[in-house]
Structure 1
Amino acid sequence: MTIRSVVFDVGETLMDDSTFWGSWADWLGVPRHTLATLVGSVTAMGQDNAEALRLIRPGFDLVAERQAREEAGQGECISEADLYPDVRPALTALRNAGLWVGIAGNQTSRAAELLAALDLPVDGIATSGQWGVAKPDPAFFSRVVDWAPGEPDEIVYVGDHRDNDIVPAKANGLRALHIRRGPWGYLWAEDPDLKRSCDWQVDSLTEIVELVR
């Protein structure tokens, strides 16, 4: 089967989330390991990551707090140092192989601007903030299908998260590739639902080129 496009999740697929969560811990005034542990705990319970922030500050309003951080000069920041080392080599190799390469994840519109500023070797960048719909909503993956060249089964979605990436991508007709890294990638690496849904599983993005050729 021909693969025409490869689309990547962002957090813990392309980007190490340590800076992201660390900045929230600093903003809330708690040790970084405290928030990291809470994020892991709510994830294991099947809850949204934002619940970890609400455990620290009951009634936490994510939209309002993001705005407050921007106004305080402590807004979102994505730098080259946040990228995993295999990101640029893998994206470059995929494009050199003639594949369309995209980035689409559950991030803000501002995150899309920050990613674009890194000048990554990709053909497109989109976020849930721009599209107005977030994973795992099927409408998100419909947008991916409309956006990336190819029929659904000619598009590979790459991610670390069982419930947000692999299972819904496959359920919506895309090919699904699981990257085994980051807390969710390791937590669910051998999960039966993930195994049934993923077409491939890798430990490094550089493995992808040979798999999808």
Structure 2
Amino acid sequence: MIRSVVFDVGETLIKDDREWAAWADWLGVPLNTLSGLVGAVTASGRNNVEAFELIRPGFDLAAERQLREQAGVGERIEESDLYPDVRQALEALRAAGYWVGIAGNQTDRVAGLLRRLALPVDAIATSGEWGVAKPDAEFFRKVIEFAPGEPHEILYVGDHRDNDVVPASAAGLRSGLIRRGPWGYLWADDPVVRENADWVIDSLVELPGLLVS
């Protein structure tokens, strides 16, 4: 039985279009150039930060984020960045009695931006606040501390095979992959996903029905 449902952020709850476009502008390249490089390095099993390093050798993500903030073009999340099914799904899960949380690879600032949206969730955390990022096993140990229930009673939902489904399952959690965003579409039918994910879904609103079936 599932007691808690915890969601990834980027391309699970939030469309990443705004942030990738901001990075492309900051780096002075077309958006399709950055998107293509991110896709290439991630699909080959490398960290997507390597795409930034290909454009700007010696790229320092933390330093560049700070420079963007100082220039007034830092991270932003608004209501329009949410996928259309997010509020409905979160509300339905809480109405059905599930504890609902958000925990993803995001900065401290994004944690604050998410909290300002007043989403119908019980708690929000980010890797920036925890000091550890996916796919590190310690991140998922934090998820187990964060959400009520034994590991097998916690469902982690994300769009990424290697950052979400595989490490969540390895930690003893249940896992689900949302088929949207580049990684969700890329890996929806991947054998590793099919072996590890409890559910592959097209919309978050499917979850309440699936969890009681």
- TM-score under structure 2 length normalisation: 0.98
User: How far apart in 2 are the matches of 1:55 and 1:83?
Assistant: 30
Q: Match for residue 105 of structure 2?
A: 106
Letter paired with 1:170: S
In the TM superposition, 1:24-43 aligns within 5 A as: 24-43=23-42
Deviations 1:112-141 (A, max 9, x none): 000000010000000000000111111110
Letter paired with 2:42: T
Q: Match for residue 53 of structure 1?
A: 52
Unaligned ranges ≥5, structure 1: none
Select between 188-197 and 125-134 the one with higher mean Cα deviation.
Answer: 188-197
User: How far apart in 2 are the matches of 1:189 and 1:211?
Assistant: 17
In the TM superposition, 1:58-73 aligns within 5 A as: 58-73=57-72
In the TM superposition, 1:115-194 aligns within 5 A as: 115-194=114-193
Which SS does the other structure have where 2:103 is aligned?
strand
Which SS does the other structure have where 1:53 is aligned?
helix
User: How far apart in 1 are the matches of 2:211 and 2:202?
Assistant: 15
User: How far apart in 2 are the matches of 1:66 and 1:145?
Assistant: 29
Letter paired with 1:76: E
Q: Match for residue 209 of structure 1?
A: 208
User: How far apart in 2 are the matches of 1:21 and 1:148?
Assistant: 30
Deviations 1:130-168 (A, max 9, x none): 000111111110111111000000000001100000000
Deviations 1:67-89 (A, max 9, x none): 10111111110111111000000
Q: CA deviation at 1:191?
A: 1.1
Q: CA deviation at 1:37?
A: 1.1
Letter paired with 1:47: R
Q: CA deviation at 1:46?
A: 1.1
User: How far apart in 1 are the matches of 2:205 and 2:85?
Assistant: 6
Which SS does the other structure have where 2:29 is aligned?
coil
Q: Match for residue 84 of structure 1?
A: 83
User: How far apart in 1 are the matches of 2:17 and 2:42?
Assistant: 16
CA RMSD of aligned residues (A): 0.7
Letter paired with 1:13: T
Letter paired with 1:17: D
Which SS does the other structure have where 1:101 is aligned?
strand
Deviations 1:11-47 (A, max 9, x none): 1100111111110001111111111111111112111
Which SS does the other structure have where 1:156 is aligned?
strand
Q: Does 1:75 align with 2:74?
A: yes
User: How far apart in 1 are the matches of 2:56 and 2:138?
Assistant: 31
Letter paired with 1:100: W
Which SS does the other structure have where 1:195 is aligned?
helix
User: What is the count of residue pairs matched by the alignment?
Assistant: 212
- TM-score under structure 1 length normalisation: 0.98
